[in-house]
Amino acid sequence: MSRIEQFQYDNRIVRAFGMATFIWGVVGTLVGLTLAFQLIYPELNLSQTGIPYLSFGRLRPLHTNAVIFAFIGNGIFMGVYYSLQRLLKARMISDALSWIHFWGWQAVILCATFTLPLGITTSSEYAELAWPIDILITLIWVVFGINMFGTILKRRESHLYVAIWFYIATWITVAILHIVRSIELPYSLFGSYPLFVGVQDALVQWWYGHNAVAFFLTTPYLGIMYYFMPKAANRPVYSYKLSIIHFWALIFIYIWAGPHHLLYSALPDWVQSLGTVFSIMLIAPSWGGMLNGLLTLRGAWDRVRQDPVLKFMVVAVTAYGMATFEGPMLSVKSVNAISHFTDWTIAHVHVGALGWNGFLTFGVLYWLWPRMYRTPLYSVKLANIHFWIGTLGIIFYAVPMYFAGWTQSLMWKEFTPEGTLAWGNFLDTVTQIMPMYAMRALGGTLFFVGVCIGVYNLIKTAGQGSFLSNEAAEAPAREPRPVSTAGQYWHRWIEQRPIQMLLASAVLISIGGIVQIIPMVFVESQVPKISTVKPYTPLELAGRDIYIREGCVGCHSQMVRPFRSETARYGEYSKSGEYVFDRPFLWGSKRTGPDLQREGGKYPNSWHYNHMIDPRTMSPGSIMPQYPHLADNELDLSELPAKISALRRLGTPYPAGMEERAITDAQQQAKKVAGKLKEEGIKDEGMETKEIMAIIAYLQRLGTDIKVEPGGR
Partner 1 sequence: MKFTKYLFTLFLLSLAATVWGQAATAPAPDPAADQLPRLMTYILVIAAAALFIVAMVYVVNINQFLYRRVLDLEASKSGVKLPGETAAAAVPVADSFWTTLRKKYWEDAVPIEREHEILSHHDFDGIRELDNRLPPWWVNLFLITIVWAGIYMYYYHWGGNGPSSTEEYKMETEQAQKQQTAALAGIANDVDESNVVALTEGGALGEGELIFKNTCAACHGQLGEGTVGPNMTDEYWVHGGGIKNIFKTIKYGVPDKGMIAWQSQLSASDMQKVASYILTLQGTNPPNPKAPQGEIWKGEAPADSTATPAPQTGTGG
Looking only at residues 425 through 454 of this chain, which bind partner 1 when binding is defined by CB under 8 A?
A: 425, 428
Q: According to CB under 8 A, which residues from 579 to 608 bind partner 1? A: 601-607
Task: Give me the 214-243 binding string for partner 1, x by CB under 8 A, dash otherwise.
Answer: -------------x--xx----xxxxxxxx
| DSSP category for residue 708 | S
- 525 touches partner 1 (CB under 8 A): no
* Identity of the residue, 19 or 291, whose beta carbon is nearer to partner 1 in the bound complex: 291
Q: Select 218 or 276, whichever has its Cβ closest to partner 1.
A: 276
Query: Which residue lies nearer to partner 1 by CB, 59 or 233?
Result: 233
**549 vs 569, beta carbon nearer partner 1:** 569
Collect all residues with Cβ–Cβ distance below 8 Å to 556 and sequence separation of at least 6. Answer: 588, 591, 592, 593, 594, 595, 596
Give min distance, CB of 265 to partner 1, in A: 9
Instruction: Assess 399 for contact with partner 1 (CB under 8 A).
Output: no
Q: What is the three-class DSSP state of 585?
A: coil
Which among 172-180, 368-376, 423-431, 520-528 is the span making contact with partner 1, rule CB under 8 A? 423-431
421 binds partner 1 per the rule CB under 8 A: yes
Q: CB-wise, 66 or 310, nearer to partner 1? A: 310
If one asks whether residue 476 binds partner 1 (CB under 8 A), the answer comes out as no
For residue 640, which phi and psi values (nearest 5 degrees)? -55, -45
386 binds partner 1, rule: CB under 8 A: no
Phi, psi at residue 238, to the nearest 5°?
Answer: -60, -50
CB 273 to partner 1: min, Å? 5
Q: Report which of 163, 134, 282 is spatially closest to residue 222, judged by C-alpha positions.
A: 163
Q: Assess contact for 472 and 6: CB atoms under 8 A.
A: yes
CB of 506 to partner 1, least distance (A): 24
Q: Does 113 bind partner 1 (CB under 8 A)?
A: no
Q: Judge contact between 58 and 117, C-beta under 8 A.
A: yes
Compare residues 22 and 264 and give the one whose CB is closer to partner 1: 264
Give the chain's end-to-end CA distance (angstroms, integer): 83
Is-contact 85 151, C-beta < 8 A?
Answer: yes
Q: Please, which of residues 633-662 interact with partner 1 by CB under 8 A?
A: none
Among 298, 374, 381, 529, binds partner 1 (CB under 8 A): 298
Check binding of 610 to partner 1 (CB under 8 A): yes
Query: How near is the Cβ of 612 to partner 1 at its closest, in Å?
Result: 12
Local structure of 4: helix, strand or coil: strand
Mark residues 673-692: x for contact with partner 1 by CB under 8 A, - for none: -------xx-----------
Q: Is 272 in the site for partner 1 (CB under 8 A)?
A: yes
Restricted to residues 250-269, the positions that interact with partner 1 (CB under 8 A) are 264, 269
The amino acid at residue 148 is: M
**Least distance (Å) between residue 181 CB and partner 1:** 26
CA 448 to each of CA 26, 71, 369: distance values in angstroms, whole numbers, following the listed order: 7, 13, 20
Q: How far apart are CA 379 and CA 377, in angstroms?
A: 6
Q: Is 410 in the site for partner 1 (CB under 8 A)?
A: yes
Asked if residue 157 binds partner 1 (CB under 8 A), the reply is yes
493 is a contact residue toward partner 1 (CB under 8 A) = no
- d(C-alpha 63, C-alpha 69), whole Å: 10
Distance CA 390, CA 379 (A): 16
* DSSP state letter for 155: -
Closest CA to 180 of 220, 138, 140, 147: 138
Shortest Å distance, C-beta 599 to partner 1: 12
Q: How far is the CB of 86 from partner 1 (least distance, A)?
A: 4
Of these, 42, 220, 275, 285, which contacts partner 1 (CB under 8 A)?
285
SS3 letters across 498-546: HHHHHHHHHHHHHHHHHHHHHHHHHCHHHCCCCCCCCCCCHHHHHHHHH
Closest among 77, 112, 83 to 98, alpha carbons compared: 77
The number of C-alpha atoms within 13 Å of 72 and in the hemisphere containing its C-beta is 28
Per CB under 8 A, does 26 bind partner 1? no
Site membership for partner 1, residue 111 (CB under 8 A): no
Task: Note whether 287 binds partner 1 by CB under 8 A.
Answer: yes
Is position 388 an interface residue for partner 1 (rule: CB under 8 A)?
Answer: no
φ/ψ of 686, rounded to 5, equals 70, 25
Q: Which residues, at least 6 apart from 118, have a Cβ–Cβ distance to it below 8 Å? A: 53, 58
Bond before 584 cis per omega within 30 degrees: yes
640 contacts 541 by C-beta, under 8 angstroms: yes
Say if strands 4-10 and 470-476 run parallel, antiparallel, or are unpaired: antiparallel
Measured distance CA(203)–CA(220) in Å, rounded = 24
What are the beta bridge partners of residue 341?
590
Name which of 384 and 606 has its Cβ closer to partner 1.
Answer: 606
Of residues 614-633, those binding partner 1 (CB under 8 A):
617-620
Stretch that binds partner 1, among 36-44, 142-150, 299-307, 630-638 (CB under 8 A): 299-307
> Which SS3 state, helix, strand or coil, does residue 687 take?
helix
CB of 216 or CB of 403, closer to partner 1: 403
State the minimum distance, in angstroms, from the CB of residue 263 to partner 1. Answer: 8
- Please check whether residue 647 is in contact with residue 654, taking contact to mean a CB–CB distance below 8 angstroms: yes
The size of the interface with partner 1 (CB under 8 A), counted in residues, is: 87
Based on the shown chain and the rule CB under 8 A, indicate whether residue 415 belongs to the binding site for partner 1.
Answer: yes
Shorter beta-carbon distance to partner 1: residue 427 or 442: 427
Interactions with partner 1, residue window 44-83 (CB under 8 A): 83
Pick the closer one to partner 1 by CB: 194 or 268.
268
DSSP designation for 706: G
Spatial distance between the Cα atoms of 647 and 186, rounded to a whole number of angstroms: 10
Q: CA 545 to CA 191: how far, in whole Å?
A: 10
The answer to the question of residue 706 lying near partner 1 (CB under 8 A) is no
Can residue 491 be called a binding residue for partner 1 (CB under 8 A)?
no
709 lines the binding site for partner 1 (CB under 8 A): no
Site residues for partner 1, 78-107, by CB under 8 A, read 83, 86-87, 89
Enclosing H/E stretch for 185: strand 184-186
Stretch 541-580: interaction string toward partner 1, x if CB under 8 A: ---------------------xxx--xxx---x-------
712 lies in the site for partner 1, by CB under 8 A: no
Check binding of 276 to partner 1 (CB under 8 A).
yes
